Structure 1
Amino acid sequence: MKTDAFALRHIGPRENDLEQMFKTIGVESFDQLIYETVPDNIRLKKDLDLDAPMTEYEYLTHIQELGNKNKVFKSYIGLGYHPAIVPAVIQRNIFENPGWYTAYTPYQAEIAQGRLEAILNYQTTVIELSGMEIANASLLDEGTAAAEAMALLFDVRTRDQKKNNVNKFFVSEEILPQTLSVLQTRSTPIGVELVVGNHESFDFSADFFGAILQYPGKYGQVHDYAGFIAKAKAAEIKVAVAADILSLVKLTPPGEMGADVVVGTSQRFGIPMGYGGPHAAFFATKEEYKRSMPGRIIGVTIDTNGNRALRMALQTREQHIKREKATSNICTAQVLLAVMAGMYAVYHGPKGLKYIANKVHASAVTLADALNKLGVYNVNTAFFDTISVKAYAANVKNIAEKNGVNFFYPDAETISISLNETTSLTDLNQIIAIFAEATGKESFQVTELSSTNNIPTSLERTSSFLTHEVFNNHHSESQLMRYIKKLERKDLSLNHSMISLGSCTMKLNAAAEMLPLSMANWNSIHPFAPIDQAEGYQIMLKKLEHQLNVVTGFAGTTLQPNSGAQGEYAGLMAIRAYHLSRGDNHRNVCLIPASAHGTNPASAAMAGMEIIVTKTMENGNIDVEDLRAKAIEHSANLSALMVTYPSTHGVFESAICEITQIIHDNGGLVYMDGANMNAQVGLTNPATIGADVCHLNLHKTFAIPHGGGGPGVGPICVNEKLVPFLPTNPIIPTGGEQAITAISAAPYGSALVCLISYGYITMLGAEGLKSATQHAILNANYMKVRLEEHYPILYSGEMGRAAHEMILDCRAFEDNGIKVTDIAKRLMDYGFHAPTVSFPVAGTLMIEPTESEDLAELDRFCDAMIAIRKEIAESTKDDVNNILKNAPHTLAMITADEWVYPYSREKAAFALDYIAENKFWPTVRRVDEAYGDRNLVCSCAPIEAYM
């Protein structure tokens, strides 16, 4: 046994388990199993051409040496990214804690109450600082949040007959450059015309439906937008404001000025820059727009006993469930980062945040006064943290970089300097010395911060914020540590038991992959730092791109999309650009199978495509003849096919090459959704099946943790014809020769967490990656055989095998009065998170065990499902007081003096022997979804205030 082999630690089943598993399945070997699962005509003929795998020790040494190639300068670049202090108590207890980073999206609210409360704290912080009525549970970054604001205002304009056909959207020239680029990408396909200009000279004509402003402006100027917003309202133009969250501690909130939407990033609330991400963007608006709002909202409701409970509000109305009628394809959030930012607000409270904001502002005032004495004048008449000074930029840049300092240089005579919570008097004196040398004047030192306020009285915040007790009771480390632990105990994560979610691939997030994220030489780099200061990042990112090219068989990769849905959109936009480059402007039809995930049609709609749905046959496969007929019918305008492989039903369809050839023969390109890539790696690949582009979910197949609902990363890999169209960035150029504008705000998206996937691939190597895929297929088929005696399995491959996941059909149990939701809730009593519920078929459970679960854990889950099947058999349609309907059973129920149920307490809580060893207690009874939708509350206000 090679104890230093990473594959030994990542892959669950032991060598001596394989004989039993093969026997149960009815195969002799992996070769036979894979032959019966993956069509032979798409199998790779040779192993992946990757470097030999490193051990964990070798990798950690390698990544430290690589990190040392990054130069950690003092960063005053700003533009939405700032050095931030990550409180150690939050870093250790959340950021580095698998109890927080391995959890899944809180669809099963009863076992996610801790995470839900933490996100509710975040929403409350956003609502109260922005002055708005409702906020979501975070978006991907400020640029995409601004684009979502534009899309929301474009959507709601139709409520106003006068604006129904208006398509112009004003963008202030003060907007961050990367935000403008994302707006340009998102506006064109949906028919929005951007008009960039000076907000002070805007004419408020009837041609506009909306506008977006930056607060403070990109180089620090603080504008009073109240007059602009009032005129816009008079002209029935709705206004979004992109705001700096820390500045809102001191500045009048946009909501109090009358803004309709407020967006921004919460990065500077204790999140490392990480060369661009991940960071939680915020999105707040008016309650009247909640049905058009992108993303998720955490809401307050009650449970069966009428006790306060939290859940994902309106979750059946998430944008992507609207399919082609969606105005957003957002399917995830940045939950882990939102939790951290919310905890930052809890830890500091309103007084602490005021202290930090005042110190940052005082530092900026002090520096402006000092530079003024050197004859270097600040052109900002009002500012929060950023001054914009006039000097010979090239000279300053040369001296600054020699001293390990980065400013931003908008032009040859302007330097923008953004200060932050890490800035000290020593730092200020270093900056003064740099400018003294640049101007040939004698330097001097400041010894204290100025008490002068450079914010106009009319813009000073007067309203209170964060008055709820949660923000005022946890200011010592002991208090916060215990609060975090209290919430953690309410959540079921991978550190407790298997999470067998189909299509979500909840695999091991190995500690060796995660450790580098805490290293300062990786997490302290600004995304717009000069490339030569990020040599370690450049090497790592290029190597990861190469690894993903090898895995997919493609020629090029962009890591910019920071979610799977963003990857879908990026892939379709690359296809769109390809057709436009050939003069095929009319090619806009996208074929999508009926079984596709809802993000597929949502992404296609956002890319401006006309969606044609193709039929699915009874066996779950694509109806090839229907697809052929529709491809031929629309051949003149065919743009693309979106296909998931293996299929959403967990089957390797043998006709896939015929399907992709039909599309190519009719002038279209093939986009492959990589959600199920964990069944392909090392065995086949998207290039081999005939795809032109695919996205990969690095948070699924390539081991980035789900983080309670995010971060995600969704790079796209493309063939040679699409390489020229990979996206760029306006400050750090990326992408191809004919690059589309930005998909995300940062040049390389969520670059910091790309280290995880780089580590995963580097430590597994070609043989390990292939073995992981084989074991994922083995585990799925082992469970399939164990469960199919008790539950109908909806779809299988041509030789009776599942790919890496399978669908259990639970619809017949309704004859016993049991719905699939009852099974999901009862699984909590057995210590398990439910598999994917009612997707892709209503009334079913989709199970994916992944390769990192061992045989004992697979058996525990199967035993639980079999025990539940017996409980279903004991139920009757008229019996509403049965063990499944009452699930989950809380500790309070089990220990209550009164027991009114026709089964024992032991059966309710300890139905199988293994449970007692490691019992997980749901903290609330079944939540009332309907009550929560009727009484939507998404902040920390006590529920009594709304009843």
Structure 2
Amino acid sequence: MTANLSTANEFIARHIGPSPADEQAMLDTLGFDSLEAMSDAVIPASIKGTSVLGNADGQSEADALAALKAIASNNQLYKSYIGQGYYNCHTPAPILRNLLENPAWYTAYTPYQPEISQGRLEALLNFQTLISDLTGLPISNASLLDEATAAAEAMTFCKRLSKNKASQRFFASVHCHPQTLDVLRTRAEPLGIEVVVGDEAELSDVSGFFGALLQYPASHGEVFDYRELVQRLHEGNALVAVAADLLALTLLTPPGEFDADVAIGTAQRFGVPLGFGGPHAAYFATRDGFKRDMPGRLVGVSIDRFGNTALRLAMQTREQHIRREKATSNICTAQVLLANIASMYAVYHGPAGLTRIAERIHGLTAILAEGLTQLGFTLVGATAFDTLTLHAGGDTAALHQRAWEQRINLRQIDAEQLGVSLDETTSQADVEALLALFAGQRAAPDFNALAASAESRLPAALRRQSAFLQHAVFQRYHSETELMRYLRRLADKDLALDRSMIPLGSCTMKLNAASEMIPVTWAEFGNLHPFAPAEQSQGYQQLTQELEAMLCAATGYDAVSLQPNAGSQGEYAGLLAIRAYHRSRGDSHRNICLIPASAHGTNPATANMAGMRVVVTACDARGNVDIDDLRAKAQQHREQLAALMITYPSTHGVFEEAIGEICTIIHEHGGQVYIDGANMNAMVGLCAPGKFGGDVSHLNLHKTFCIPHGGGGPGVGPIGVKAHLAPFLPGHASLEHTQGAVCAAPFGSASILPITWMYIRMMGGAGLKRASQMAILNANYIARRLEQHYPVLYTGSNGLVAHECILDLRPLKDSSGISVDDVAKRLIDFGFHAPTMSFPVAGTLMIEPTESESKQELDRFCDAMIQIREEIRAVEDGRLDKDDNPLKNAPHTAAELVGEWSHGYGREQAVYPLPSLVQGKYWPPVGRVDNVYGDRNLVCACPPIELYQES
């Protein structure tokens, strides 16, 4: 018998788009006889051979899934009553299947191109309406990263807007969740803000604070009446933020109705699994007058060119790119996928369903409280929604031990107190088990008798009187049939990776393989509380340790922290590590951060947040860092130099040959080198930033390492560091190193880390290297095919690019009046998401094809771009009118096609510019959206349903 009996690893070929024959054809186009020869030509000699990844073989999909399942089985799923901002909940099955597990939703990009994003924009508008209605505040954003970082954003928001301009003091209630207080302290210290933690009931003097944060209900369960306190704080010119539980707000007076300025919190318990801490969508709501200062993304209602209702992101949502070092936040991502789950949870249940869930939880809590009181326990406070704290005295440790023996987790508060938080999944049997646990050897009180006598623990004066979620979208889709069809209608409006290539430069929209995604919904990963005892999370500990080692091998760094839950958070954590390192050496005066003019906008915004002063360094005509200018500024600021932030390969899509010299200059002048890992997809297996001069890098796991973008989040932005910075990685109260938490959970968005583990395990060292090489090959193939039609703005000295290329459309604007926006909108008619527009250079398109796209798809994109160039030529020649042409009017909708046709070009040219489109046409749901109109007439919640019906 001669058959090959080995288990084949077919994943690499499935992940990488081009076949061997296509690979050779592309190499022939570029004039290379092999992938290795092309790589040698692209990678600078000074950094070749720095990779330490190795050539280990990857595992097959089946073997990798089996190995991960074995790891997951080491997590122990106890019944959790820990609370502290994290609750068990049910993800409705139609939302799980049709949204969370649906690539039409999870592979979509951030909706910066509104015409092809109307579905997810509508879902996000629903989310904003949900938050606005429940909090009683008129404006909400489209999500933040988690409750703790939303609280930190609220603190700096209050600082900007408070009338107490000179004050540096921020009051935070001792009743806030401990992880929130930790993140507040981390964020405050570099900015010189003093966080004063205290009991607001003892706060006699409220003067001198610029703002305050209160928890509602309190972390230990009590429901405080804050009306008089908020009034006093306002009289002292302080702004007030309230961290509020969304489900509780169905029953309690919303913060906006007792005059809070800001409401923040998490939407996790609206159908999003615990996931060992994330990802979860936070929210931020505020007064209408403060909307221009609100952090994060904001979905608004505008009109398209036909005057029909259309949605889009408001301009302020990229303010960190516009304002750079003057930005008030470095937020570049959100938690869109999770916000969409939460919004659909509210759509599915409606206001009556949400209220019913909340009343049931509170009813069981009241019954449990009555039973505990009858058992002789003293409860903290007379009020509660879902959480009880009780004095157990010397029995506390024994109660925890007895609970663990019954596979139950209670909240560990201190030696004499413990907590119990009920949730949507709690049943009568669960409450009876808890009563038996606390009764010990005594007889437990009868549940039915308790139910007959228990009274509500909600303060009568704080019972909600106002209606919420009255918009039609929250009234209609309560059957599974209706919800399924609604989700399908929304998905059909959008373009995601399941339809076509998304060629966004700097954003690496690559395959998110099904085998990588499957473990995300395993209960062993999804149902674990982030503060469960360590012995119950052995599987997660093994996963994170192995993933940290994998990322160290991929980058050449010595240690990794997985805590940052976005690229922006990774940048921030990296600069905090540098800052702490300098301070540990007595160099606290080092606060200058050099940043090239071409850098991502988040870089200067992050440096500002980390308490550093930004000095911009010039770039030369080829887009590289101007070495002479860098050296001069390093010398000028040598006593204060803290760091250089540089993206590599450069933001211009080129491997700068002088990167080693750049790192040396910074080190010689006492600084540290932060290498932005946004473009790591060009380096894995070929060169390693930790070996050619980097001290710290953040990695975008939602780019290079296959976690999907989810329509604008979740992201994960871990940092790798050299050994000397390892002591300054983010800590957490639940970890050995307790200081410097940058987000709420110790491992950030832990439940999506299995995606990256699977990708690296299946690809192996050889596969990861090949992926980098193919990403570079695909980008150079596109550049070569298009260079005779559009100038390629930057290349290396050998005429090659890295993993992305920039096409210069500025000459076409001069010759034809056609702008980069017109080309982007015309690409929609061809069924493509536009490349990145006008970044890092205005009037350009930055294209990144990734390794996952086949040659056929690359050619389809190139054919579209070439046909568009022919249309521009027709405008230049006068064959098409300069104002009435397919580019100026793009995109074209089906409604326009069947209406009266008044254009000087035909219907077929408008919607079928290439014959291949006849078989698979994407129809945009709206025409070109008027962003200026939307910003002037900002509407950020669901408008009357009649507007949708009219349009």
Q: What interval of TM-score do these two structures reach, taking the shorter chain for normalisation?
A: over 0.9
Instruction: Answer yes or no: is the 8 Å Cα contact 2:300–2:312 preserved in 1.
Output: yes
Q: Which moved more, 1:520-529 or 1:913-922?
A: 913-922
| 3-state SS of 1:661 partner | helix
Matches within 5 A, 1:659-670: 659-670=662-673
Instruction: Answer yes or no: is the 8 Å Cα contact 1:113–1:309 preserved in 2.
Output: yes
Q: TM-score, normalization: structure 1?
A: 0.97
- For 2:321 and 2:580, locate their aligned partners in 1 and report how far apart those are by CA, in whole Å: 24
The equivalent residue for 2:161 is 156
Deviation at 1:38?
Answer: 0.6
Instruction: Answer yes or no: is the 8 Å Cα contact 1:827–1:833 preserved in 2.
Output: yes
Q: Match for 1:64: what amino acid?
A: K
Q: Match for 1:802: what amino acid?
A: V
The equivalent residue for 2:867 is 867
Instruction: Answer yes or no: is the 8 Å Cα contact 1:320–1:328 preserved in 2.
Output: no
- For 1:315 and 1:237, locate their aligned partners in 2 and report how far apart those are by CA, in whole Å: 25
- For 1:316 and 1:727, locate their aligned partners in 2 and report how far apart those are by CA, in whole Å: 27
Q: 1:728 aligns with which of 708, 727, 731?
A: 731
- For 1:746 and 1:253, locate their aligned partners in 2 and report how far apart those are by CA, in whole Å: 26
Matches within 5 A, 1:739-754: 740-754=739-753
Deviation at 1:49?
Answer: 4.0
| 3-state SS of 1:411 partner | coil
Matches within 5 A, 1:278-427: 278-315=279-316, 318-391=319-392, 392-427=395-430
- For 2:125 and 2:613, locate their aligned partners in 1 and report how far apart those are by CA, in whole Å: 37
Q: 1:912 aligns with which of 911, 914, 919?
A: 914
Instruction: Answer yes or no: is the 8 Å Cα contact 1:726–1:740 preserved in 2.
Output: no
Instruction: Answer yes or no: is the 8 Å Cα contact 1:734–1:747 preserved in 2.
Output: no
The equivalent residue for 1:31 is 36
- For 1:204 and 1:274, locate their aligned partners in 2 and report how far apart those are by CA, in whole Å: 41
Determine if the alignment matches structure 1 residue 792 to structure 2 residue 797. no
Deviation at 1:183?
Answer: 0.3
The equivalent residue for 1:561 is 564
Deviation at 1:733?
Answer: 1.1
Deviation at 1:360?
Answer: 0.6
Instruction: Answer yes or no: is the 8 Å Cα contact 2:829–2:891 preserved in 1.
Output: yes
Q: TM-score, normalization: structure 2?
A: 0.97
Q: Relative to 1, partners in 2 of residues 1:234 and 1:39: Cα closer, same or farther, differing over 3 Å? A: same
CA shift digits 1:143-181 (9 cap, x unpaired): 000000001111113xx3xx2211110011001100001
| 3-state SS of 1:883 partner | coil
Deviation at 1:943?
Answer: 8.3
Instruction: Answer yes or no: is the 8 Å Cα contact 2:223–2:459 preserved in 1.
Output: no
Q: Match for 1:649: what amino acid?
A: H
| 3-state SS of 1:212 partner | strand
Q: 1:53 aligns with which of 30, 41, 58?
A: 58
Deviation at 1:4?
Answer: 3.5
Q: Match for 1:141: what amino acid?
A: D
The equivalent residue for 1:181 is 182
Q: 1:122 aligns with which of 109, 121, 127?
A: 127
The equivalent residue for 1:758 is 757
| 3-state SS of 1:13 partner | coil
| 3-state SS of 1:688 partner | coil
Q: 2:602 aligns with which of 591, 599, 604?
A: 599
Deviation at 1:50?
Answer: 7.2
| 3-state SS of 1:399 partner | helix
The equivalent residue for 2:613 is 610
CA shift digits 1:246-268 (9 cap, x unpaired): 11111100110100110000000
Instruction: Answer yes or no: is the 8 Å Cα contact 1:828–1:888 preserved in 2.
Output: yes
| 3-state SS of 1:639 partner | strand
Instruction: Answer yes or no: is the 8 Å Cα contact 1:204–1:235 preserved in 2.
Output: no
- For 1:80 and 1:205, locate their aligned partners in 2 and report how far apart those are by CA, in whole Å: 27
Give unpaired runs (5+ residues) of structure 1. Answer: none
The equivalent residue for 2:778 is 779
Q: 2:927 aligns with which of 913, 921, 925?
A: 925
The equivalent residue for 2:649 is 646
| 3-state SS of 2:82 partner | coil
| 3-state SS of 1:407 partner | strand
Instruction: Answer yes or no: is the 8 Å Cα contact 1:507–1:850 preserved in 2.
Output: yes
Deviation at 1:688?
Answer: 2.1
Q: 1:113 aligns with which of 84, 103, 118?
A: 118
Deviation at 1:47?
Answer: 5.6
Instruction: Answer yes or no: is the 8 Å Cα contact 2:206–2:233 preserved in 1.
Output: no
Matches within 5 A, 1:890-909: 890-896=893-899, 898-909=900-911
Q: Which moved more, 1:256-265 or 1:202-211?
A: 202-211
Determine if the alignment matches structure 1 residue 834 to structure 2 residue 805. no
- For 1:424 and 1:740, locate their aligned partners in 2 and report how far apart those are by CA, in whole Å: 38
| 3-state SS of 1:671 partner | strand
Q: Which moved more, 1:680-689 or 1:89-98?
A: 680-689
Deviation at 1:315?
Answer: 4.3
CA shift digits 1:62-91 (9 cap, x unpaired): 111211111011010001000010000000
Q: Which moved more, 1:189-198 or 1:442-451?
A: 442-451
| 3-state SS of 1:885 partner | coil
Instruction: Answer yes or no: is the 8 Å Cα contact 1:822–1:885 preserved in 2.
Output: yes
- For 2:945 and 2:212, locate their aligned partners in 1 and report how far apart those are by CA, in whole Å: 35
Instruction: Answer yes or no: is the 8 Å Cα contact 2:158–2:239 preserved in 1.
Output: yes
- For 2:916 and 2:9, locate their aligned partners in 1 and report how far apart those are by CA, in whole Å: 31
CA shift digits 1:310-369 (9 cap, x unpaired): 000124652442111111100110000000000000000000000000001011101111
Q: Which moved more, 1:807-816 or 1:852-861?
A: 807-816
- For 1:922 and 1:928, locate their aligned partners in 2 and report how far apart those are by CA, in whole Å: 15
| 3-state SS of 1:874 partner | helix
- For 1:943 and 1:822, locate their aligned partners in 2 and report how far apart those are by CA, in whole Å: 31
Instruction: Answer yes or no: is the 8 Å Cα contact 2:374–2:445 preserved in 1.
Output: no
Instruction: Answer yes or no: is the 8 Å Cα contact 1:308–1:943 preserved in 2.
Output: no
How many pairs were matched up? Answer: 936
Deviation at 1:36?
Answer: 1.3
Q: Relative to 1, partners in 2 of residues 1:50 and 1:395: Cα closer, same or farther, differing over 3 Å? A: farther
Deviation at 1:309?
Answer: 0.3
Q: Match for 1:858: what amino acid?
A: L
Deviation at 1:296?
Answer: 0.5
Instruction: Answer yes or no: is the 8 Å Cα contact 1:727–1:734 preserved in 2.
Output: no
Q: Relative to 1, partners in 2 of residues 1:39 and 1:128: Cα closer, same or farther, differing over 3 Å? A: same
The equivalent residue for 2:46 is 41
The equivalent residue for 2:769 is 770
Give unpaired runs (5+ residues) of structure 2. Answer: none
Q: Which moved more, 1:637-646 or 1:37-46?
A: 37-46
- For 1:564 and 1:442, locate their aligned partners in 2 and report how far apart those are by CA, in whole Å: 54
Instruction: Answer yes or no: is the 8 Å Cα contact 1:409–1:416 preserved in 2.
Output: yes
- For 2:506 and 2:347, locate their aligned partners in 1 and report how far apart those are by CA, in whole Å: 35
- For 1:822 and 1:881, locate their aligned partners in 2 and report how far apart those are by CA, in whole Å: 12
Instruction: Answer yes or no: is the 8 Å Cα contact 1:631–1:662 preserved in 2.
Output: yes
Deviation at 1:3?
Answer: 5.6
| 3-state SS of 2:413 partner | strand
CA shift digits 1:778-823 (9 cap, x unpaired): 1000111001010010000111101000000011111201000000
| 3-state SS of 1:602 partner | helix
The equivalent residue for 2:635 is 632
Instruction: Answer yes or no: is the 8 Å Cα contact 2:350–2:469 preserved in 1.
Output: yes
Instruction: Answer yes or no: is the 8 Å Cα contact 1:577–1:740 preserved in 2.
Output: no
The equivalent residue for 1:244 is 245
| 3-state SS of 1:846 partner | strand
- For 1:164 and 1:316, locate their aligned partners in 2 and report how far apart those are by CA, in whole Å: 25
Matches within 5 A, 1:73-222: 73-157=78-162, 160=163, 163-222=164-223
Q: Relative to 1, partners in 2 of residues 1:455 and 1:506: Cα closer, same or farther, differing over 3 Å? A: same
- For 2:620 and 2:71, locate their aligned partners in 1 and report how far apart those are by CA, in whole Å: 51
Instruction: Answer yes or no: is the 8 Å Cα contact 2:51–2:688 preserved in 1.
Output: no
Instruction: Answer yes or no: is the 8 Å Cα contact 2:144–2:150 preserved in 1.
Output: yes
Matches within 5 A, 1:694-733: 694-730=697-733, 732-733=734-735
The equivalent residue for 1:805 is 804
The equivalent residue for 2:818 is 818
Instruction: Answer yes or no: is the 8 Å Cα contact 1:313–1:933 preserved in 2.
Output: yes
- For 2:444 and 2:257, locate their aligned partners in 1 and report how far apart those are by CA, in whole Å: 43
Determine if the alignment matches structure 1 residue 658 to structure 2 residue 685. no
Q: Match for 2:723: what amino acid?
A: E
Q: Which moved more, 1:683-692 or 1:700-709?
A: 683-692
Q: Match for 1:366: what amino acid?
A: I
Instruction: Answer yes or no: is the 8 Å Cα contact 1:264–1:281 preserved in 2.
Output: yes
Deviation at 1:6?
Answer: 1.2
Report % sequence identity: 54
Instruction: Answer yes or no: is the 8 Å Cα contact 1:47–1:767 preserved in 2.
Output: no
Q: Match for 1:102: what amino acid?
A: T
Determine if the alignment matches structure 1 residue 493 to structure 2 residue 500. no
